[in-house]
Amino acid sequence: MLRAERRHGALLDKALDVISLCSAENAFLYVSPSVEDVLGYAPEELVGTTVSDLVHPDDLAAYVREVIEGMREASGPFGPVTARYRHRDGSWRHLETTLNVLLDDPEVGGVVCVSRDVTGRRRLEEEVRGLNEGLEGEVARRTAQLEAALDSLGESEERFRATFEQAAVGVAHVGLDGGWLRVNRKLCDIVGYRREELLEKTFQDITHPEDLGADLNQLRRLLAGEIGTYSMEKRYFRKDGSVVWINLTVSLVRGDSGEPAYLIAVIEDISRRKRAEEALRASEMRFRTVIEQSPLSTQILSPGGRTLRVNRAFTELWGLTLEDLAHYNMLEDPQLVEKGVMTHIRKGFAGEAAAIPPIAYDPEQTLPGRSGNEEPGRWVRGFVYPVKDEAGEVREVVLVHEDVTERKRADESLRESEERYRAVVEQSAEGLYLLDARTRRVIETNPSLQRMLGYSGDELEGMELYDLIELPREEVDATLRRILERGHRPIGERRYRRKDGSLVDVEISASVIRHGGGEVVCAVVRDATERKRVETALREVREGERKRVARDLHDGALQDLTYALAEAQIVQSLNDNSELDGRITDEIEALRSTERRLRAAVYDLRLGGEGGRPLAELLEALVEEGRRMAPGCDVRLVLESSLPEAPPGAGGAEVLRVLREALSNARRHSGAGRVLVAVRAEGDDLVAEVTDDGRGFVPGGPTGVGLNSMRERAVALSGSLEVDSEPGAGTKVRLRVPLRRLGAADHG
């Protein structure tokens, strides 16, 4: 019996859990030596004291209530009951106690308590709960070294059995060959085997192959006496094939002769902790990846101002590594203080996030290691982020910098460009305005336009374009549509209305530009009053000279030529000399040809002088002149659509010359009895056709001077000339030119 008690005492001395025996009044009758490792007391100091002397006052009531209820309701072991116990040094430790009421057991006569220190676990759980609240969390490993020394001998067998079975961790006796000799219920729960199934296996059977070598090596050292115990984390295969992480503590029990007898293994399921650690590692990896790959310069500071970490973007921006900053205190940086950045950093250490406005940094002054660098200062924009721990205290501050130098330079360039643009606009002699094409309202004007129209800038801003242009609304809208479609359009001449109601002649061109995030129309307005006055004066001079020349040619040279032709015809009629008659005939034909050319020249001069008449009237005059020159031919005019009412300019005169040449060819060469002149407007083009029922010709053959001249005039007008003809089927000449080339004001 004495030997059994000694073995039982040795077992309790080896246990990492505190095993105690209490009386019905909660007084300690026995406390295992492990209490000194857990609470710092020697066992004899506690014998005779009560649990109330050690439990924290805030936990005492709940502890007593749970114990009383457990003793009343439980028929066997109950718990665990958790409370804070006072350590000898004054600190508090969380103990988790499983109780077994054996007051009626004559061998025990008390309450058996198995208490284990779970302070580390409680801290770990708190750290795990706070894992997602901080950028970096440190999960402290808690290694609870458990040693259970269990002995199956002696008069304390029943007490030992209760302790063995009710332990909150897996406990086993293992043979030197690895076979399970005795296992408790908790171990069976951990690995998922029934007791009898597990006893048929060895620990090697259920150990993960990657962990087995390290376990066997430690066991070899233990058996060789190199170490007295060992602990390790390893993996077991559960019965269902899944893996469970455990913390294993192994000690060796020797026989009376000192030879190794068997092993005591304490197995704690740490899968939950390992998952938490894995989650922490994954979070840390994600954090490191995000920080390292971030294009923003990131610097993590300790509360003392030391740099804990920098990323690649930081090194690229400042040219410094973490080693360069090892002994540099950012809180003492003079430029951070001078530029007010330190205020934002201190806000971060106070737990407040702060955004730093863009600040110009001189890298040589801001951070060490930059001496001799000729790189100009950088513009950076910063942010400060506090990193708090689970208690809400700021543990670190993240200082993020975005290099906005290029943006600032671009902004500066844009500002300078805008200033140059503004100077050009303000100093321009031509009027400028921006127009909202959707609302038809003026957005902005320059001083030249304001002086031209007599309005102030504020008066013009917001005015509708219809109030300025002397044109119907539909024509204004059509012009704007074409500007938006083409992007740019020379509009031509317009008449703008001044503030006093008078009109001013202007020349307009417009383009679509980007402004204020959208598209607007930018119009350039040139005052054409002086030019129009000079042109009018020159035109009057030219018209007067043209009329004089036409009159002189008609009344002088043409009349003399007509008289000479008549005399030649009289001489021919009186002459009976055949040789002379031939020469007279040639001279008469030459005189007739000269007369035709001279009449055509007189017509052109008169046509230029009639430039003030509408195109339709000029066409009627042209056809009437054709009737006079071909009395036997039916010459008609058909206007198939309305034509511009404004008088044509030089381009219109060229069109009339082409049509006159086509009429002359039909009259002189085709032998036509009927000629039709059809004119119409097709979109932006003028189309004129001269069709006769004459003899026709083969297309593609030699062409005369007249047809070539007609084609050249058409090309000069940016138009085209087509001739359709067949022998015996007549001829059609089709002229197509842009309406804007007629020389009149642009209608649209």
Is residue 744 scored above 50 in pLDDT?
no
Start-to-end CA distance of the chain, whole Å, equals 124
Q: Are 684 and 655 in contact (CB under 8 A)?
A: no
Is residue 593 scored above 60 in pLDDT?
yes
In the beta sheet, which residues pair with residue 230?
250
d(CA 43, CA 12): 12
Neighbours of 588 (CB within 10 A): 16
Interhelix angle 558-574/578-609, nearest 10 degrees? 160
Per-residue pLDDT of 223-249, as tens digits, reads 988 998 999 999 999 999 999 999 999
Is residue 599 scored above 90 in pLDDT?
no
> Phi and psi (nearest 5°) for 456?
-85, 165
d(CA 706, CA 591): 19
Q: Are 527 and 502 in contact (CB under 8 A)?
A: no
d(CA 709, CA 711): 5
Per-residue pLDDT of 180-223, as tens digits, reads 999 988 899 999 999 999 999 999 999 999 999 999 999 999 99
User: Edge-to-edge strand order for the sheet containing 720-725?
Assistant: 634-639, 674-682, 685-692, 731-738, 720-725
Q: What percent of the chain has pLDDT over 70?
A: 76
pLDDT at 140: 39
Interhelix angle 157-166/2-14, nearest 10 degrees? 20
Is residue 515 scored above 50 in pLDDT?
yes
Q: Which of 24-33, 70-79, 606-615 has the lowest mean pLDDT?
A: 606-615
Considering only residues 336 and 683, tell me which one the structure prediction assigns the higher pLDDT. Answer: 683
Where do we find the tokens 């455990």?
246
d(CA 418, CA 407): 16
Is residue 27 scored above 80 in pLDDT?
yes
> Phi and psi (nearest 5°) for 558?
-70, -40
The answer for 473, left when phi > 0, alpha when psi is -120 to 50, beta otherwise, is alpha
Q: What SS3 class is residue 589?
A: helix
Q: Which amino acid is at 493?
A: E
Mean pLDDT, range 569-575, rounded to an integer: 71
Q: Which of 1-15, 465-479, 490-504 has the lowest mean pLDDT?
A: 1-15
Considering only residues 386 and 553, tell me which one the structure prediction assigns the higher pLDDT. Answer: 386
> Exposure string (b/e) for 334-368, b if CB count within 10 Å is 16 or more?
ebbeebebbebbeebbeeeebebeebebebbebbe
pLDDT at 367: 44
Mean pLDDT, range 277-303, rounded to an integer: 76
Q: Which of 313-322, 461-470, 531-540, 665-674 has the lowest mean pLDDT?
A: 531-540
d(CA 204, CA 218): 14
Considering only residues 462 and 641, tell me which one the structure prediction assigns the higher pLDDT. Answer: 462
Neighbours of 390 (CB within 10 A): 15
User: Edge-to-edge strand order for the sheet containing 18-22?
Assistant: 28-31, 18-22, 110-117, 92-102, 78-86
> Phi and psi (nearest 5°) for 724?
-110, 125
pLDDT at 263: 92
Counting runs of H as helices and runs of E as strands, what totals does the chain give?
25, 25
Q: What SS3 class is residue 643?
A: coil
Is residue 347 scored above 70 in pLDDT?
yes
Nearby residues of 478 by Cβ (< 8 Å), 6 or more positions away: 748
8-state DSSP, 698: -
Neighbours of 441 (CB within 10 A): 16
Q: Are 493 and 507 in contact (CB under 8 A)?
A: yes
Neighbours of 117 (CB within 10 A): 22
Per-residue pLDDT of 642-654, as tens digits, reads 787 777 777 888 8
What torsion, rounded to 10 degrees, do the Cα atoms 275, 277, 282, 283 define?
120
pLDDT at 549: 67
